[in-house]
Structures are given as C-alpha cells and as structure tokens.
Amino acid sequence: MSKPRFLADENIPRTVIVTLKERGYDVVSVWELSPGMTDEEVVELAIKERRIIITFDKDFGRIALSNPGITGVILLRIPPLDPSYIAERILSTLERIKDAYNKLIIIRKKTVKIVALR
C-alpha cells in the first residue's frame, strides 16, 4: 500500500513537513500554497487532492465528523513546542496504522485516538 498524502495546515512547523518529506511522504503545506486559506478552502483542497489534513486546529476535528467527503484528519493535541517531537509522534502513529485515510486521528502526548469517519 502506498503512503498517505498530506496537507499540512498553516500551524504545522516547517521542520515537521521537512521530516515527513525526508521519510518519503508526499506533503504540501498551506503556507506554501496559499497562506490565509479558510478552513473550508483547506478541506476542499484536501478532498480534491485526496490528502489527509495535519493540524493543531480543533475545528478540523468537528469538520471531519460532519463532512462525509473529507479524506482524513490528523489532529495534534500536543504542545507545538518541539517540532522534532511532533514529527516523531506523527511518524510513530503512522507506522501503527494500516490505512490513515477516512479517519480522525487524534494524537496526544501519551495516547492516540482513532475515529473511523465512514
């Protein structure tokens, strides 16, 4: 199975994006494409390009649960202090999940919660 494709929200540190790319993930960033995109525009782009949104924004958790077309969301609920730690948490979580699509994946410091979206 091929690796999931990601859309990094504006609040994702550049180091996290670079680390994911170095590990072979296809990641595009909102701040590279179009800074200031609305949540709706981010969701539309993610659906159109079949990308999973990576974000610290809790609104995307709600959007994921109410929008049946969404490709998936990784919601980070850890302090955005150390980009290397954030990248490692994402990578270690992805290693344990067979298919990250169509899921709301909530990553906390000590736990990971996975909610199937459909």
Averaged confidence pLDDT in the chain? 94
CA trace torsion 74, 27, 18, 15 (10° rounding)? -40
Query: What architecture is domain 5-116?
Result: 3-Layer(aba) Sandwich (3.40)
Task: Single out the residue of 76, 88, 71, 75 nearest to residue 4, CA to CA.
Answer: 71
Percent of the chain clearing pLDDT 90 (strictly above)? 91
Q: What is the pLDDT of residues 24-46, one digit of tens each?
A: 999 999 999 999 999 999 999 99
Q: Which residues of 1-32 are buried (b: 16+ CB within 10 A; e: fewer)?
A: eeebbbbbbbebbeebbebbeeeebebbbbee
Output the pLDDT for position 27.
Answer: 98
Q: Are 77 and 108 in contact (CB under 8 A)?
A: yes
- Chain segment 67-116, per-residue pLDDT in tens: 889 999 999 999 878 999 999 999 999 999 989 999 999 999 999 999 99
* Domain coordinates in residue numbering, the chain: 5-116
Q: What is the C-alpha separation between 17 and 23, in angstroms, rounded?
A: 10
Residue 1 has pLDDT above 80, yes or no: no
Question: What pLDDT shows up at residue 81?
Answer: 83
